[in-house]
Amino acid sequence: MRDIKEIILILPIVVFSIIIHEVAHGYCALLLGDTTAKENSRLTLNPLRHFDPFGAILILLTLAGFFPFGYAKPVPVNPHRIRLKKGMLYVAAAGPLSNFGLLLFICIIIRIIALNIEVIDVFYFYLIKVLLIGAGINGVLLMFNLIPLLPLDGGRILYELLPLKYKIKFGSTERWGIFILLLLLITDSHFNLNILSYILYLPTLFFISLTTGLAINKILMFL
């Protein structure tokens, strides 16, 4: 369980990363002709416009170490207003791509800092810590949302790529998707199966290590 100081440190990073993810969906839809998100004032970084009470509670529980899940209010998208035939594929991919962009940007900043300082004092220690937490959060958000299960972005990407006869069958699983996801999350956490560790955390750690030049054990020391 994290202490209150760590939660206060991490919360703004989590909120910002989730909001960027949702806004990316909306902006992509806008570029493809759907103004629904804009009309609903959702193309903003204002947290209040993306606030979901239950999702916010889950985020706090996640930060406290009790529950590995949380979300913001999904940005509304009208598929019938999207101009491209496969436009929803790009809209679905925009969220994870935004998290990848943030992850890569943060890792480049860490790399620059690591190459230009000889001694890590208190200031640089906490700066690198915050940056690594930001990178970790965006890496986990990226991998989590790419799980090929509706209603996650990975499921929507897979749905758009499937032939019509399989698309209909796969689309019918969305009603059960959230329950399957919660069952996986709770089971993995309660029984220490570590399935999510392989899916979410290991790829994130390897990518951060590869791009920053930091050894994984040093990254874990900061986290």
Instruction: Give the distance, in angstroms, between the CA of residue 11 and the centroid of all CA atoms in the same chain.
Output: 14
Catalytically annotated residue among 22, 39, 118, 174: 22
The residues near 143 (Cβ < 8 Å, ≥ 6 apart) are: 199, 200, 203, 204
**Maximum alpha-carbon separation in the chain:** 60
Amino acid identity, position 202: L
DSSP 75: P
**Is 118 part of the annotated catalytic residue set?**
no
> Which residues are CB-contacts of 92 (< 8 A; sequence separation ≥ 6)?
25, 153, 156, 157, 160
Tokens 């947290």 sit on residue: 47
Catalytically active residues, by annotation = 22
